[in-house]
Structure 1
Amino acid sequence: MSNSSDNAQAPLVAIGLTLLAYLCFSCLDATAKYLVETLPSLQVVWMRFVSHVVLALIVFQVWKRPGIFRTGRPVLQIVRAFCLLGSTVGNFLAIRYLQLAETMSIMFAAPFLVTAIAGPMLGEWAGPRRWAAIVVGFIGVLIVMKPGSGEMHWAAIYSVAAMVSYAFYALLTRMLSGKDSATSMLMISAVVAMLAMAPAGLSVWTAPPSLFHWLLLMCTGVFGGLGHWLFIKASALAPVPVLAPFSYAQIVSMVGLGYLVFGDVPTTSTVIGASIVVCSGLYLLYRERVRKS
C-alpha cells in the first residue's frame, strides 16, 4: 500500500521540486543580468560554473567520494554538459539587451520542442491535440519576437539558441535520471562546462568592481547548482511532458524581478505572446492528465 501511495505522490513531489528549480533559475537570470551590465557576459558564464563547481565540491565532499564522477554513459553526460553550457551562454548574452520577460517568453518554447522530440528520443509521443498546442505556442513566441516587424531585437537569436539547447538538456537529463546519480550529473555537467568555458572567460576577464559583485558571482553558482539539482531530482520522479508545462510559473518571478530590480515593464506584445504560450502549455498539461486517467 505504501508503495502505491509513494508512486501516486511522486508526480506531485516532482512538480514541487520543478517549481523551486525555476525560482532558482529566475534568481540566476536576474543576478546575471545585473552583472553583465558591468562585466563581460562570457566572464559571468565562466564564473557561474566555477562557483558552481567550488560550492559543489565543498557540499558533497568530493574528496571522500572518488566515485562521484563515475557514469555509465559518458558521451551523453558530456553532450548534456555542452547543452547546459550553450543554454547558459545564449541566455546570458541575450539578457544584456533584452528584458527578463522577453528572454523568458522565448525560452517558453522549450517545452513545445521537448514535447515534439520526446517521441523519437524517449518514446513519449505527442498526439494531434498536443501538436496543435505546440503550433499555437509557437505562434505566441513569434508574437513576442515580432520577426519582420522591424521591432525584433537581434539579440533574440541568442534566446532562441538558448531555448533549443535547454530543450535537449532537459531530454538528456530525463534519459540519464535513474541511471546516474543526481550528484554525478550535477558535478560532471558543471566541471565540463567550466573547463570548456575557461579560455573564453579568462580572455575577457575584468576585475569585479566591488565585493558585492564578487558575492553575486558566487550566487550564480548557488542558484544554478541548486536549481539544476532540483530539476534532476524532479526528472527522476516524473516524465518530461508532465513537468515541462510548469516552467510557465517562472514568468511570475521573472516579471517581478525584472520590475523590482531593473524597472522593466513588459511590452504589450510580450504579455499577449506569453499568455498564449502559457495557455498552450496548460493545455498540454490537461491532455497529459486526461491521457493518464
Structure 2
Amino acid sequence: MTEQNTRLGIMLMVVTTFIFAVQDGISRHLAGEYNVLMVVMIRYWFFAAFVMTVAARKAGGLRAAAATAQPLVQGFRAVLLVAEICVMIFGFTLLGLVESHAVFACYPLLIAALSGPVLGESVGWRRWAAIGVGFVGVVIILEPGFGVFQPQAVVPLMAALMFALYGLLTRYVARKDSAATSFFWTGTVGSVAMTAVGAWFWEPMIAPDWGWMALLCVTGALGHFTLIKCYEVAEASSVQPFAYLQLVFASALGLVVFGETIRANVAFGAALIVGAGLFTLWRQRQRQKKAAR
C-alpha cells in the first residue's frame, strides 16, 4: 500500500461523504413533499439498474454476481438497508439533517458493541469505555428528563442500530461472498422489496421535483461508485475516520439550505460521539497491526 494510494483513498472518501450529504439534502427535500416510501422506491430502481449494469460487465455476468451460498442472509441485509434508509429519511423530515446525523454518527460504536455477539469478535475494555463515552454523547443530544425530549429523536438512533447490524452482516457474508455479490444483492433485492411496499404510496410529482429525483438517483450511484473505488485503493482503517465528514457536510447543508440551527448540547454530544468513534477505529487498527506481525 503506497502513501499515494492512501492519499487517493482519503480524497475519494471525502468526495464520497460529500456526495452522500448532498443525497441526504435532496432526500430531505423530496420526503418533505412526497411519501418517503415512494422516494426511496424510485431511487432504488435506478440503484438496481446500476448494480446490474456493473455486474453484467464483469466476468460471468449477472449469474456470477448473484451466486451465493447464503441467500437468506444476503436477502435480509438488503431489506435491512432499504428499511434503514426509509427510517433515516423519515428522521430528516422530523428533526432535520443536523440532529439526525449527530445521533446517527454513533453507528460505528454500535458496530463495535455488537461485533462480539454477532461475529464472535473480542472487544477490550478500552473500546467498551469508548462506546460508553459515545452513548453519553447520544444521551446529551437526546436530553431525556429535561422536559424537551422528543420521541422522534429516537428515529435516527433506530436507523443507526439498523445500519450497524447491516454493516456486521456485510462483514459476515464477506467470509464467503465477494463484495460484487453483496453489492448485487443489496441493489436488486432492495429494489424488489421497496417496490412491493412503495408502489402503494405513489403520488404525482411536479416537473422540478423529477429533476431533483434524477439528481438523487445519480448521486446515489455515484456515491457507491466512489466508495467502491476508495476501498480498492486504500485500506479501510486508513480512510474510515474521514467518513465522519458526512456529519460536517450534512450539518452545513442543514444550516445553509434548510435554515436549521445547532444547539449547544447537540454540538457537544456529537463531539463526544465522533471522538469515541475515532478512538475505536484507532484501537481496531492497532489490533490489526499486532495481528499482522
TM, length-normalised to structure 2? 0.85
Change (3 A) 1:125 1:22: farther
1:288 is aligned to: 284
For residues 44-63 of structure 1, what are the structure 2 equivalents within 5 Å?
44-58=39-53, 60-61=55-56
1:73 is aligned to: 70
Q: Does 1:125 align with 2:122?
A: yes
Change (3 A) 1:219 1:70: farther
For residues 12-161 of structure 1, what are the structure 2 equivalents within 5 Å?
17-58=12-53, 60-61=55-56, 65-67=61-63, 68-161=65-158
Contact 2:51 2:187 in 1 (8 A): no
Return 49-58 or 98-107, whichever deviates more.
49-58
Deviation at 1:251, TM superposition (A): 1.5
Match of 1:202 among 184, 195, 199: 199
- Partners of 2:239 and 2:52 in 1: CA distance: 29
Contact 2:21 2:250 in 1 (8 A): yes
Return 14-23 or 85-94, whichever deviates more.
14-23
- Partners of 2:242 and 2:225 in 1: CA distance: 17
1:76-107 Cα offsets, whole Å, 9 max, x none, are 21121022112101101111111211111111
Deviation at 1:163, TM superposition (A): 0.7
Contact 1:113 1:167 in 2 (8 A): yes
Change (3 A) 1:10 1:171: farther
Contact 2:55 2:62 in 1 (8 A): no
Contact 1:173 1:235 in 2 (8 A): no
- Partners of 2:4 and 2:177 in 1: CA distance: 22
- Partners of 1:226 and 1:122 in 2: CA distance: 30
- Partners of 1:170 and 1:31 in 2: CA distance: 24
Return 247-256 or 180-189, whichever deviates more.
180-189
Change (3 A) 1:183 1:289: closer
Any gaps of 5 or more consecutive residues in structure 1?
none
Q: Does 1:216 align with 2:212?
A: yes
For residues 248-287 of structure 1, what are the structure 2 equivalents within 5 Å?
248-287=244-283
SS in 2 for 1:206: coil
- Partners of 2:167 and 2:15 in 1: CA distance: 16
Any gaps of 5 or more consecutive residues in structure 2?
none
Q: Give me the identity figure in percent.
A: 31
Q: How many residues align?
A: 286
SS in 1 for 2:150: coil
Change (3 A) 1:173 1:224: farther
Deviation at 1:11, TM superposition (A): 6.9
SS in 1 for 2:93: coil
TM, length-normalised to structure 1? 0.85
- Partners of 2:36 and 2:125 in 1: CA distance: 41
- Partners of 1:261 and 1:221 in 2: CA distance: 20
